[in-house]
Amino acid sequence: MTSTSALVWDKKTLFVRYIEECGVSCELLTPHMIAAPFYRGKFVTLIVPTGFANPDYSGLLPALKAASSRIKRFVENGGNLLVFGAASTREDAYSWLPFPLRYHHAYGPVELRIDHDHPAISLVEGCDTGCIECDGYFTEYEGTVIASAARKPVMIAKSIGKGEVVAATIHEYPSPAFIRTFCTAPEEALF
C-alpha cells in the first residue's frame, strides 16, 4: 500500500504540512503545473481546497478547467479526488468535474445529518457535527449524499471508474483518519 497525495494551490500552505503530519506524503501542485500538458505526477489522491473558484483566494479555476480531461482520467484510473467548497457564486465553479455538480455559497455554522454507513464520513471525525462551519451546499449533484444540513447536501461521494470523488462544503480540515484512508491505495494513478 502507498499513501500519497497532491494538493492543488497557488503557493505553499499549511494544509500540505497537515497532510504530511497525518502520515501521507503530499506534493504541492500549482495551477501552472496542473494545466501544463507535460506534467506527469503519480499519487493516490488529488485535493482541491476551499476557495478554489474565488479569485480573492486563488487562481485555480482556469487551471482546473484546462485540466478537466486529465482529472477525469486520473479518477477513472483509480485516483481519488477530494474537493471542497468553491467559495464563489460562479455557476461554472465545478464544471471541471467529470459529473454535474452545482453549489450555492452560504457560509455559516450548521448541524450535520450524517450517513454513518459511508466510510468517507470519517472526514468529520472529531468535529462537533452539531455546529460545524460550512461554506454552502450542493443544489445539483450525482452520487451519494453523505452529510446534509437542513436537508441540503453538504458532502457527496461519487464513484467514477476505479476512483472516487468526494465533494464537501465542510469548512474544516479533514480528520487524520480520513486523510490516511482516502490517500492510501495499492497503487498510485497517473495525473
Confidence (pLDDT) at 126: 95
Tell me the pLDDT tens digit for each residue of 20-64: 999 999 999 999 999 888 899 999 999 999 999 999 999 999 999
Confidence (pLDDT) at 37: 85
CB 23 within 8 A of CB 2: no
Domain range summary for the chain, segments of one domain joined by +: 2-190
91 pLDDT exceeds 90?
Answer: no
Q: Cell numbers 454513518 correspond to what residue?
A: 116
DSSP state of 159: E
Confidence (pLDDT) at 185: 97
Confidence (pLDDT) at 49: 97
**Rounded mean pLDDT, 151-156:** 97
Pick the CATH number of 2-190 from 3.40.50.300, 1.10.3720.10, 3.10.350.10, 3.40.50.880: 3.40.50.880
Q: How many CB atoms lie within 10 A of CB 143?
A: 19
Answer yes or no: pTM beyond 0.75.
Answer: yes
CB 15 within 8 A of CB 24: no
Tell me the pLDDT tens digit for each residue of 92-144: 899 999 999 999 999 999 999 999 999 999 999 999 999 999 999 999 999 99
Handedness of CA 130, 118, 168, 174 (dihedral sign): positive
